[in-house]
């Protein structure tokens, strides 16, 4: 039986339970370790552990225990080829050829590697275009790359402004694709508001202007289908521990469109060598003619087991089905907030675009006052959201393991917290990690 559309939502507890009864992905919840007596709604920061990941990590540990160095070629997935195998596995999720994706490094290392390759200021084209709402880490890395080229950061990093402090106007981004832009780096999703950018449209407009463009997809891969090849994206990079559920500090991924395989990685390391000749130990570097050429160092094999197990679950569920449920759950959350929490004294606002085509996997709940204290009160009640200053409580109902009833419980707990003014007992002082 199909799930009802937003126009047929009702706010009763029984209705939430009925949605769970019709959910075709409901059984995947059993494949995760769920925190005891908690409702976990923070999978956009760190996904929960899949049972398959525990099994895969334990297998890798046993291979190390029993084989030692032999695991590099004789393990179930030979460690020497683990990064390429995971690239092949995730390729259909992001709409790429197997040779165009590799598991390697971390988000920041991969960003540095890619920018060192694609940022080649020459003539009038010397600037990088980014945006002021991007996760600051990306801007730090871009600034570092500009400075390594001996250029002035203030003059060569151009940031698209936001009119509302929440979202970006894509037409404004296009207007700022001026002849002096050498490279564009944008997030697929804005980490505070959850706005999903139109990657295909922005890529097309960049290429019309002869500008290379790449995307940070940390907040979209695993929640939103991607079609990198169809969209003709130049490159992309992402972590695996958010919607992909591979574990804290797990390896990241990068995508290189095959038409760029002849380019030279600016951050050379021996794992980017031609695989068949890597152990020749030649002094002259020969870069692999695929995405593997952008590897730098040996992969963290134990953590890679978490990636292996998690990808099996995502592939089994299907990224299109994950997206369908994710949109439905966030639509339901928006409905409940509007129905029950939008008026005084609750005064919650939705900071995420309401259109499904502009929304990723989380909802930004905003409140002008006391948002952080309310977030603390939610944690006191057993909910795990997260907070982003100045006033955003991020809620991520994950399609693979959250339920509609949990969303209903969240909204009614927020209502209770405001009704009783319970949040007033919590300090406004923020912890180191919020």
Residue 85 lies in a domain: yes
207 and 332 share one domain: no
Provide the CATH number for the domain around residue 111: 3.40.640.10
Domain shared by 324 and 308, yes or no = no
Q: What is the pLDDT of residues 161-215, one digit of tens each?
A: 999 999 999 999 999 999 999 999 999 999 999 999 999 999 999 999 999 999 9
Q: What is the pLDDT of residue 434?
A: 65
| Cα–Cα dist 319/399, whole Å | 10
Q: Is residue 230 part of a domain?
A: yes
**124 CB-contact burial (10 Å; exposed 0-12 / middle 13-18 / buried 19+):** exposed
Distance separating alpha carbons of residues 137 and 143, to the nearest angstrom:
10
Helices 301-317 and 319-340 pack at an angle, to 10 degrees, of 80
What is the reported pLDDT for 393?
Answer: 98
Confirm whether 245 is domain-assigned: yes
CA 116-122-124 angle, to 5 degrees, is 130
Residue at 1 is within a domain: no
Residues 6+ apart with CB under 8 A from 166: 133, 190, 192, 193, 195, 351, 364
Note whether 291 and 351 are same-domain residues: no
pLDDT for position 428: 85
Please state, in angstroms and rounded to a whole number, the distance separating the CA atoms of residues 391 and 384.
Answer: 17
Q: What is the pTM of this model?
A: 0.95
Mark which of 257, 290, 316 sits at the end of a domain.
316
User: Does residue 431 fall inside a structural domain?
Assistant: no
pLDDT of residue 260: 98
Same domain, 391 and 333: yes
> 294, 114 in Cβ contact below 8 A?
yes
| Residue numbers of the chain with a pLDDT score lower than 50 | none
Asked if 136 and 19 sit in the same domain, the reply is no
Is there a single domain that holds both residue 70 and residue 58? yes
CA 407 to centroid of chain Cα atoms: 21
Secondary structure (3-state) at 290: coil
CA dist., res. 187 & res. 199, Å (int): 9
Could you tell me if 207 and 350 lie in one domain?
Answer: no
- Across the chain, mean pLDDT equals 96
Whether 242 and 380 share a structural domain: no
Strand partners, 157: 128
**Cα 236 to Cα 217: distance, rounded to the nearest angstrom:** 7
Q: What does the block give as tokens for 281? A: 């130990």
Is 40 part of any domain? no
Note whether 12 and 121 are same-domain residues: no
Task: Based on the fold, state whether residues 189 and 276 are members of the same structural domain.
Answer: yes
- Whether 37 maps to a domain, the answer reads no
Q: Of 281, 316, 351, which residue sits at a domain end?
A: 316
The span from the CA of 180 to the CA of 157, in Å, is 11
- Domain assignment present for residue 271? The answer is yes
Does residue 413 share a domain with residue 382? yes
197 with 326, same domain? no
pLDDT per residue as tens digits for the range 394-425: 999 999 999 999 999 999 999 999 999 999 99
Domain containing 344 — which CATH number?
Answer: 3.90.1150.10
* Rounded Cα–Cα distance for residues 9 and 16 (Å): 9
pLDDT score for 1: 53
Predicted pLDDT at 392? 96
What domain range is 62 assigned to? 54-316
How many distinct structural domains can be found in the chain? 2
How wide is the angle at C-alpha 86 spanned by C-alphas 80 and 87, nearest 5°? 105
Cβ atoms of residues 250 and 302 within 8 Å? no
Q: Which of 295, 316, 337 is the last residue of a domain?
A: 316
């Amino acid at each position: 039986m199909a799930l009802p559309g937003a126009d047929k939502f009702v706010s009763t507890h029984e209705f939430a339970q009925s949605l769970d009864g019709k959910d075709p992905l409901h059984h995947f919840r059993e494949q995760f370790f769920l925190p005891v007596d908690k409702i976990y709604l923070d999978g956009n920061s760190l996904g929960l552990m899949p049972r398959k990941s525990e099994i895969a990590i334990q297998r890798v540990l046993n291979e190390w225990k029993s084989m030692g160095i032999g695991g590099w070629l004789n393990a179930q997935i030979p460690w020497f080829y683990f990064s390429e195998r995971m690239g092949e596995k995730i390729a259909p999720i992001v709409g790429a050829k197997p040779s165009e994706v590799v598991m390697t490094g971390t988000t920041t290392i991969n960003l540095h590697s890619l920018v060192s390759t694609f940022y080649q200021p020459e003539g009038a084209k010397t600037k990088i275009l980014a945006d002021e709402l991007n996760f600051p880490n990306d801007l730090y890395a871009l600034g570092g790359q500009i400075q390594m080229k001996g250029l002035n950061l203030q003059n060569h990093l151009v940031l698209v402004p936001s009119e509302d402090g929440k979202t970006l106007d894509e037409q404004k981004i296009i207007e700022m694709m001026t002849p002096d832009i050498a490279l564009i780096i944008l997030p697929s999703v804005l980490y505070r508001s959850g706005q999903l950018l139109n990657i295909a449209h922005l890529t097309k407009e960049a290429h019309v202007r002869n500008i290379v463009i790449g995307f940070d997809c940390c907040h979209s891969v695993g929640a939103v289908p991607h079609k990198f090849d169809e969209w003709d994206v130049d490159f992309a990079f992402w972590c695996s521990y958010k919607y992909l559920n591979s574990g804290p500090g797990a390896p990241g991924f990068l995508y290189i469109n095959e038409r760029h395989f002849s380019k030279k990685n600016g951050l050379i390391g021996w794992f980017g060598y031609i695989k068949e000749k890597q152990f020749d130990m030649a002094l002259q570097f020969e870069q692999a003619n695929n995405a593997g050429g952008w590897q730098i160092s040996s992969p963290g094999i134990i953590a890679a087991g978490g990636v292996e197990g998690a990808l099996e679950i995502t592939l089994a569920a299907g990224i299109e089905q994950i997206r369908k449920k994710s949109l439905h759950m966030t639509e339901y959350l928006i409905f409940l907030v509007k129905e029950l929490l939008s008026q005084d004294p609750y005064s919650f606002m939705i900071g995420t675009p309401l259109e499904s085509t502009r929304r990723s996997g989380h909802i930004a709940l905003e409140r002008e006052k006391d948002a952080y204290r309310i977030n603390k009160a939610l944690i006191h009640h057993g909910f795990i959201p997260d907070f982003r200053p100045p006033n955003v409580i991020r809620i991520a109902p994950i399609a693979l393991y959250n339920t509609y009833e949990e969303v209903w419980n969240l909204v009614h707990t927020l209502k209770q917290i405001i009704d009783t003014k319970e949040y007033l007992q919590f300090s406004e002082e923020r912890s180191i990690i919020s």
